[in-house]
């Protein structure tokens, strides 16, 4: 095995733990197809151990002041920043994403979350509410208990931190189950939190497939489940959690619209379409995969887009000049290539790309379809790969109606130099994360999450506090209490 093989599969109670009775999980480097580590899925014994460790740590952690908790999170953020390169190299092995990306978008984004919520931890307070006659109500924001985070495979470090940072700031403990595809990075976050002073058991990592996720979701010791994953998985996890009346946050998939009016800055709009379709080889939930381009600029847009795609550097993800890497799994590559074939079969025009690259690993070229119509599979279904659909439109009302005609509602963007139109159009888009004249930026200060089938709840920003704590209200009577009889 390579030197990327961790000491053991799980991290529980502040230490690495193994149970080889769990099903093997092969970790594959997407750029070569090589197996770089083998782990084991969490068994029921591992799940019990993790829930017990998290429960014990949570009581200790919640008794600390917010400022003390914040100090630990800030220390962890500093350690992540110090080790950014090492963590980025690991993230690239886990996901195949180019080092050029992982150096700036993964561990650093995790550190942002730990800094932001570490800074907030000491200021999480309730309210004082006068209710007449001298009486008042005060509110207390209490942690939920042990929270479960379940991750997708596209941003393993970021997802672990985006869930852990607000959960821990609020006084909860966390058990994190990474995606079985990318299990390595969260273990490093667990190590770092211990080094930063977190109590043993505060942040635990349990590996596994959906089955382990379901075992954890159904455990009575878990108070809340936060999932990042697909809509079908979200429906299952939310249903299981609802049966036990647990809190949920669901960060799910999308098929988001990016609307480009003919007065837009064309180069910026093309940059947004490239970022929103091909960054991380298109494996981003909020991607603007339905690019609506107003008819007058369609041919200019397509010509310049194809020209710029011709300059993409596809190759070794460890080479910092590379800006387009492999797909993370063979299965996801097959899905994306399957959609390219479907797009052609359903009559869309393949402008460029969409070919498998014949080399070791899971490679394809970025694909752009033009003349896509609303009913085509490539315009309706989430592909989660580098396949852009360009659709033409004429007017504002028409494009808004078509943009909203989807079960998803994760993100949406508009490009125009008409200020009033920009706000008018975004005001009518049914999506949780919207953009004007840019796309796909996710600063920790801003809420992130979806409407409709794309999710429930929000990550990041002060909003996330509401999803990792609950409010107790206390009525205080200063006078006498009377009764009718």
Residues designated as active site: 163, 251, 285, 459
Residues 381-420 that bind ligand NAD (CB under 6 A): 382, 384, 410
Q: Using DSSP bridges, classify how beta strands 224-228 and 146-150 pair: parallel, antiparallel or unpaired.
A: parallel
Q: Does 213 interact with ligand NAD (rule: CB under 6 A)?
A: yes
Cβ burial of 132 (10 Å; 0-12, 13-18, 19+) is exposed
Task: State in angstroms the smallest separation of the CB of 468 from ligand NAD.
Answer: 16
Among 103, 202, 252, 370, binds ligand NAD (CB under 6 A): 252
- Binding part of the chain for ligand NAD, among 95-103, 116-124, 131-139, 207-215 by CB under 6 A, reads 207-215
Comparing CB distances to ligand NAD, the nearer of 243 and 347 is 243
Q: Does 151 interact with ligand NAD (rule: CB under 6 A)?
A: yes
- Reference 84, options 159, 155, 180, 157; nearest CA is 157
First to last CA, the chain: 78
Q: How far apart are CA 386 and CA 451, in angstroms?
A: 23
Comparing CB distances to ligand NAD, the nearer of 66 and 110 is 110
- Binding part of the chain for ligand NAD, among 125-133, 164-172, 173-181, 361-369 by CB under 6 A, reads 173-181
Q: Does 106 interact with ligand NAD (rule: CB under 6 A)?
A: no
Q: Does 366 interact with ligand NAD (rule: CB under 6 A)?
A: no
Whether the CB-CB separation of 58 and 146 falls below 8 Å is answered with yes
Comparing CB distances to ligand NAD, the nearer of 211 and 316 is 211
Letters for 432-451 (x = contact with ligand NAD by CB under 6 A, - = none) are: ------------------x-
Comparing CB distances to ligand NAD, the nearer of 151 and 201 is 151
Q: Does 330 interact with ligand NAD (rule: CB under 6 A)?
A: no
- Reference 69, options 163, 186, 196, 224; nearest CA is 196
Q: Does 277 interact with ligand NAD (rule: CB under 6 A)?
A: no
Determine the Cα angle at 243 with ends 242 and 246, to 5°. Answer: 45
Which regions of 57-108 does DSSP assign to beta strands (E)? none
Letters for 218-247 (x = contact with ligand NAD by CB under 6 A, - = none) are: ---------xxxx--x--xx----------
How many angstroms separate the Cα of 427 from the Cα of each of 45, 421, 423? 50, 10, 6
Query: Sheet containing 135-143: which strands, arranged edge to edge?
Result: 128-132, 135-143, 469-476
Comparing CB distances to ligand NAD, the nearer of 76 and 206 is 206
Task: State in angstroms the smallest separation of the CB of 386 from ligand NAD.
Answer: 14
Q: Coil, strand, or helix at residue 459?
A: strand
Q: How far apart are CA 215 and CA 42, in angstroms?
A: 9
Among 99, 107, 164, 285, binds ligand NAD (CB under 6 A): 285
Tokens of 399: 């494009």
Q: Does 205 interact with ligand NAD (rule: CB under 6 A)?
A: no
Q: How far apart are CA 455 and CA 431, in angstroms?
A: 10
Comparing CB distances to ligand NAD, the nearer of 58 and 217 is 217
Q: Does 9 interact with ligand NAD (rule: CB under 6 A)?
A: no
Q: How far apart are CA 59 and CA 136, in angstroms?
A: 29
Among 95, 217, 322, 440, binds ligand NAD (CB under 6 A): 217
**Rounded to 5 degrees, what are φ and ψ at 102?**
-65, -30
Q: Does 108 interact with ligand NAD (rule: CB under 6 A)?
A: no
Cβ burial of 420 (10 Å; 0-12, 13-18, 19+) is exposed
Site residues for ligand NAD per CB under 6 A: 150-154, 177, 179-180, 209-210, 213-214, 217, 227-230, 233, 236-237, 251-254, 285, 382, 384, 410, 450, 455
């Amino acid at each position: 095995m390579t030197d990327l093989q961790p000491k053991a599969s799980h991290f529980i109670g502040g230490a690495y733990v193994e149970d080889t009775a769990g099903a093997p999980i092969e970790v594959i480097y997407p750029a070569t197809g090589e197996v770089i580590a083998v782990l084991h899925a969490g068994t029921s014994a591992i799940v019990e151990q993790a829930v017990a460790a998290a429960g014990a740590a949570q009581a200790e952690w919640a008794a600390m002041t917010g400022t003390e908790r914040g100090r630990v999170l800030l220390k962890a953020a500093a350690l992540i920043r110090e080790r950014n390169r090492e963590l980025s190299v690991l993230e690239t092995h886990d996901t195949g994403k180019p080092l050029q990306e992982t150096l700036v978008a993964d561990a650093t984004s995790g550190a942002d979350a730990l800094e932001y919520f570490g800074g907030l931890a000491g200021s999480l307070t309730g309210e004082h509410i006068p209710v007449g006659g001298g009486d008042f109500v005060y509110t207390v924001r209490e942690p939920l208990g042990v929270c479960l985070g379940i991750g997708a495979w596209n941003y393993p470090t970021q997802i672990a931190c985006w869930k852990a940072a607000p959960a821990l700031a609020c006084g909860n403990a966390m058990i994190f189950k990474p995606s079985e595809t990318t299990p390595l990075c969260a273990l490093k976050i667990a190590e770092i939190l211990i080094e930063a002073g977190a109590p043993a058991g505060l942040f635990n990592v349990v590996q596994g497939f959906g089955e382990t996720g379901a075992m954890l979701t159904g455990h009575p010791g878990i108070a809340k489940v936060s999932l990042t994953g697909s809509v079908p998985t979200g429906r299952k996890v939310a249903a299981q959690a609802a049966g036990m009346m647990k809190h949920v946050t669901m960060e799910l998939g999308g098929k988001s619209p990016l609307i480009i009016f003919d007065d837009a800055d064309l180069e910026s709009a093309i940059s947004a379409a490239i970022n929103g379709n091909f960054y991380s080889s298109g494996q981003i939930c909020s991607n603007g995969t339905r690019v609506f381009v107003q008819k007058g600029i369609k041919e200019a847009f397509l010509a310049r887009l194809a020209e710029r795609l011709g300059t993409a550097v596809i190759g070794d993800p460890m080479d910092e000049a590379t800006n387009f890497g492999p797909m993370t799994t063979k299965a996801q590559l097959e899905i994306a290539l399957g959609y390219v074939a479907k797009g052609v079969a359903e009559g869309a025009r393949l402008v460029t790309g969409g070919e498998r690259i014949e080399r070791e690993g899971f490679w394809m070229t970025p694909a752009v379809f033009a003349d896509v119509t609303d009913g085509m599979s490539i315009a309706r279904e989430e592909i989660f790969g580098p396949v852009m659909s360009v659709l033409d439109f004429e007017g504002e009302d028409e494009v808004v109606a078509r943009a909203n005609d989807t079960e998803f509602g994760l993100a949406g963007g508009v490009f125009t130099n008409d200020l009033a139109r920009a706000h008018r159009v975004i005001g009518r888009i049914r999506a949780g994360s919207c953009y004007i004249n840019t796309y796909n930026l996710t600063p920790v200060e801003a809420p992130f999450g979806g409407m409709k089938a794309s999710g429930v709840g929000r990550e990041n920003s002060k909003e996330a506090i509401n999803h990792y704590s609950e409010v107790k209200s206390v009525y205080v009577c200063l006078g006498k209490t009377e009764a009718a009889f």
